A and B are shown apart, each in its own frame.
Chain A
């Protein structure tokens, strides 16, 4: 009988009764063939691999990571609460040491969901990784966490949530934003003023395949991880770098994903995107699972794989080599960026488009330049549907001063003319709206 070297828990939740719409890529059938493959391969018969069902996330779990306007129920269905509950289960398994590693194969995904949520962006409503990380930090203190996002799309939501957080290292590898949604994720995006070099973006040229991808991880990601020494490594394991993915242009394989996983050794992996549901997902999910469990994955391969057809051109490899030389500087010697300061606050004014729900949000984010902590985050946000709302966020490393200021602003929120006011105070563990 096969035996896992690392005890792995898999939360497999295909949500067979949920879809964004009937022909949307994020639909009921998405994990059907992965389930077939898991069953036929007998993955849960491997000694050391066990299957778990998701928990259901509560409102406070969501509010630890998000401002939801007008409220949680309006932006979050049961499917989102269960998908978030799936990653919380993964965290629980690992933190309580029931399992050494966990893989949340759940849907819908989450990495395009930013701190403020008015609806769905890039098929995502709540950032399931962030919900999980904040659940961990709530129960186990402020751990150092590295999130390595290997989805083909830039993890702009996770980047936004951890932009100001020096204790969460966010690394995103993705197809160059000039060629793919959401059009961001350039090396110059390297973190807020208090967390410079804690956001690393690695844009890769279209048609990058196994050699180029693994070289990039080895030469950029691994040295940074070695230096950052995270307590936990989370992999946002999107599977749309696959050569057969219908909405991207990369040439990665199931073997490549398995090798990547073996190299990263994440404590927790979370499924993100990946819409080649027949040709890629069954094999990629199998490869990742076996690699996480430390079981031989060398025979995992797509039936129609033709390596010669998908190998990178020399020019792609040359480009990536140059990237490997320069990109580590973003972490090791971050260049100061221009920031707008108004009073004692760093300010970002943004317009954010929610492609899935067709919503345009206008947002002003103020972060207190606090000498004691990463600083209170004050977000003013409005859309055509939701009038001007206020979000107040005291980070997990927050100080009493920031907490007091948040409380004061919260109590005056209505007077100040905001339609909805949300407070998420991580040090007081207070997650609430003005009623």
Chain B
């Protein structure tokens, strides 16, 4: 049996599942000041309903780290960065103890100037005075060669409880983002680890031998052992749990749109051949961009409670929300009221809906029906416009080969999957507007928890090799070794997928053929003078996001 728990803004949902069937579910209010209590309560309650069962895994989507960051309840971090030449590293500064060191590693991983460890000493002393116990050490191009990060980390180790090293927080290139990622990782490290200790204790107290996994924003999970090292990966996992919830309801293997229609907003996500599309670089925390991989999700200011009014003679829908719609006892007419009038929905007090819309209709010189029609059409048009812009932006993404330009693989949704309160009512409206089949899957009240429960682990790996210098690096696994001059792309692809598979094995994550995707595999001849001196090889592969099983109908 599997348990999934989704800690949401107001409620925490939990499910227990066996063979794609929900065996038990629970909904408890979230206490943001004591998430552990909330989670324990949910766990207790679920277990009560399935006593004696073997719980294999517990998947948890938690707002713990997000909340710590958003409310500013994070620990002070001492940052040491080694930028070398380029964009001024002061523009990435985070926290009071942000120190820029000399030293330079270039794009090939060649160290042209060493960071001077003796210069670190007085700065480290300053951090000690400030009682700083967690650190971040980030060098430009450290993923190509972590030597300098290791040296500086070594100097800080005696006074550090934890150090986030750039090359371990993300294998992707982007110095500024890697700095924010390392900073936030250290900033939430203690909070997360205290929580993890308590959680593991309370799971043991329940006599469970389950593996605990944490849901990430990219629609995958990671074992709690790994999450203790990179807790920053647990932020903003809510939308991922919800998208994976849908995927567990309806199997999709083509391009599709997912619309999560709420009261105030609609979240859009896209499936490419059934696989959720990720952000190109990573998620942003306020104005700080990170390398935390996340599903690409955009919010639009249209929802069931979008306020309808007459402004300057024109009908307007959203983006504001003035409380719930009138049918639900709210103060002003909203989109749901208009849908009530037109018979798309029959929600709450339809009399109140009629009254509210009538008022706006009079100001417009329209009948209530006409007004409702116009309001609904306006909302759908706006939704369509935003979705089109979202897709256009995805389709305009840069590509780097002639073949890709000529192929021009466009994202073309074949269907729309809808969830949220007003979803069912909107099916015919959206089908008409988008000329696409729309489905509002029978969706459980605890869908996000189901998503969390059935989500598989994800992991990615980057391998780079420069045969002219004999260098081979897999920064994510801390592998930096030499390689023979005759190393080929085929060998690299084999090594990358094998390494990823054995890393997944080590973590106890089952991976079937086809789960490991090679996203990028390039080899470039390196030429000096007129001779080929080697090959520059880059391979990126991942365990793709997905669900273990879909819900049994």
Task: Tell me the A residues contacting B by CB distance below 8 Å.
Answer: 1-2, 12-18, 22-23, 25, 27-29, 32-33, 35-37, 39-43, 45, 51-54, 56, 78-79, 82, 246, 278, 282-283, 286, 290, 295-296, 298-304
Cα A1 to Cα B525 with chains together (Å) = 37
B175 lies within 8 A of A42 (CB): yes
Q: Distance in Å from the Cβ of A34 to the closest Cβ of chain B?
A: 9
Contact pick for A299, options B88, B177, B399, B403, CB 8 Å:
B88
Q: Is B8 an interface residue (CB 8 A)?
A: no
Q: Give the one of B106, B172, B289, B525 with max A CB within 10 A.
A: B106
A79 lies within 8 A of B402 (CB): yes
Of the stretches B59-67, B267-275, B306-314, B528-536, the one at the interface is B528-536
A28 lies within 8 A of B87 (CB): no
B525 lies within 8 A of A22 (CB): yes
**A-B contact number at CB 8 A:** 123
Chain B residues within 8 Å of A56, by CB: 405-406
B86 lies within 8 A of A300 (CB): yes
Chain A residues within 8 Å of B91, by CB: 1-2
What are 18 pairs between A and B in contact, CB < 8 Å? A13-B398, A15-B402, A17-B403, A27-B525, A27-B527, A29-B527, A35-B400, A36-B141, A39-B173, A41-B87, A41-B176, A42-B289, A52-B398, A286-B86, A299-B83, A299-B85, A299-B88, A301-B85
Contact pick for A29, options B88, B524, B530, CB 8 Å:
B524
Q: Distance in Å from the Cβ of B438 to the closest Cβ of chain A?
A: 31
Cα A45 to Cα B113 with chains together (Å) = 27
Q: Distance in Å from the Cβ of A223 to the closest Cβ of chain B?
A: 33
A53 lies within 8 A of B112 (CB): no
Chain B residues within 8 Å of A82, by CB: 402, 405
Cα A269 to Cα B88 with chains together (Å) = 23
Chain A residues within 8 Å of B289, by CB: 1, 42, 45
Q: Distance in Å from the Cβ of A124 to the closest Cβ of chain B?
A: 17
B86 lies within 8 A of A1 (CB): no
Contact pick for B396, options A41, A53, A303, CB 8 Å:
A53
A302 lies within 8 A of B85 (CB): yes
A45 lies within 8 A of B281 (CB): yes
B173 lies within 8 A of A40 (CB): yes
| Residue of A whose beta carbon sits closest to that of B176 | A42
B525 lies within 8 A of A32 (CB): no
Q: Is B107 an interface residue (CB 8 A)?
A: yes
Chain B residues within 8 Å of A42, by CB: 87, 174-177, 289
A22 lies within 8 A of B532 (CB): yes
| Residue of B whose beta carbon sits closest to that of A28 | B524
Q: Distance in Å from the Cβ of A190 to the closest Cβ of chain B?
A: 37
Chain B residues within 8 Å of A13, by CB: 398, 400
Other CB < 8 Å A-B pairs besides A1-B288, A290-B87, 17 of them?
Answer: A1-B287, A12-B400, A14-B400, A15-B402, A27-B527, A28-B525, A36-B141, A40-B107, A40-B174, A51-B398, A52-B396, A53-B397, A53-B398, A79-B402, A295-B87, A303-B85, A303-B112
Cα A194 to Cα B497 with chains together (Å) = 65
Task: Tell me the B residues contacting A by CB distance below 8 Å.
Answer: 83-88, 91, 104, 106-108, 110, 112-113, 140-141, 172-177, 281, 287-289, 396-403, 405-406, 522, 524-527, 529-532, 536
A303 lies within 8 A of B527 (CB): no
A303 lies within 8 A of B106 (CB): yes
Chain A residues within 8 Å of B527, by CB: 22-23, 25, 27, 29
Q: Give the one of A2, A42, A302 with max B CB within 10 A.
A: A42
Q: Distance in Å from the Cβ of A36 to the closest Cβ of chain B?
A: 4
Q: Which 5 A-B pairs have the closest CB atoms?
A: A303-B112, A29-B524, A39-B173, A301-B85, A42-B176
Chain B residues within 8 Å of A32, by CB: 524, 536
Chain B residues within 8 Å of A296, by CB: 87-88
Cα A28 to Cα B535 with chains together (Å) = 12
Cα A23 to Cα B402 with chains together (Å) = 19
Contact pick for A17, options B86, B112, B401, B531, CB 8 Å:
B401
A299 lies within 8 A of B86 (CB): yes
Chain B residues within 8 Å of A51, by CB: 398
Contact pick for A303, options B88, B113, B399, B532, CB 8 Å:
B113
A298 lies within 8 A of B88 (CB): yes
B107 lies within 8 A of A33 (CB): yes
Cα A246 to Cα B529 with chains together (Å) = 8
Chain A residues within 8 Å of B173, by CB: 36, 39-40
Chain B residues within 8 Å of A246, by CB: 529
Cα A54 to Cα B281 with chains together (Å) = 21
Chain A residues within 8 Å of B287, by CB: 1
Chain B residues within 8 Å of A16, by CB: 400-401, 522, 524
Chain A residues within 8 Å of B398, by CB: 12-13, 51-53
Q: Distance in Å from the Cβ of A125 to the closest Cβ of chain B?
A: 14
- Known contacts A23-B532, A28-B524, A40-B174; decide if A300 and B401 are in contact (CB<8 Å): no
Chain B residues within 8 Å of A28, by CB: 524-525
Contact pick for A40, options B141, B401, B406, CB 8 Å:
B141
Chain B residues within 8 Å of A15, by CB: 400-402
Cα A340 to Cα B502 with chains together (Å) = 77
B107 lies within 8 A of A54 (CB): no
Chain A residues within 8 Å of B177, by CB: 42, 45
A303 lies within 8 A of B86 (CB): no
Chain B residues within 8 Å of A12, by CB: 398, 400
Chain B residues within 8 Å of A14, by CB: 400
| Residue of A whose beta carbon sits closest to that of B89 | A299
Q: Give the one of B87, B91, B397 with max A CB within 10 A.
A: B87
Cα A186 to Cα B86 with chains together (Å) = 36
Chain A residues within 8 Å of B396, by CB: 52-53
A2 lies within 8 A of B87 (CB): yes
Q: Distance in Å from the Cβ of A73 to the closest Cβ of chain B?
A: 15
Cα A139 to Cα B121 with chains together (Å) = 63
Cα A114 to Cα B110 with chains together (Å) = 41
Q: Distance in Å from the Cβ of B370 to the closest Cβ of chain A?
A: 38
Q: Give the one of A1, A40, A54, A278 with max B CB within 10 A.
A: A40
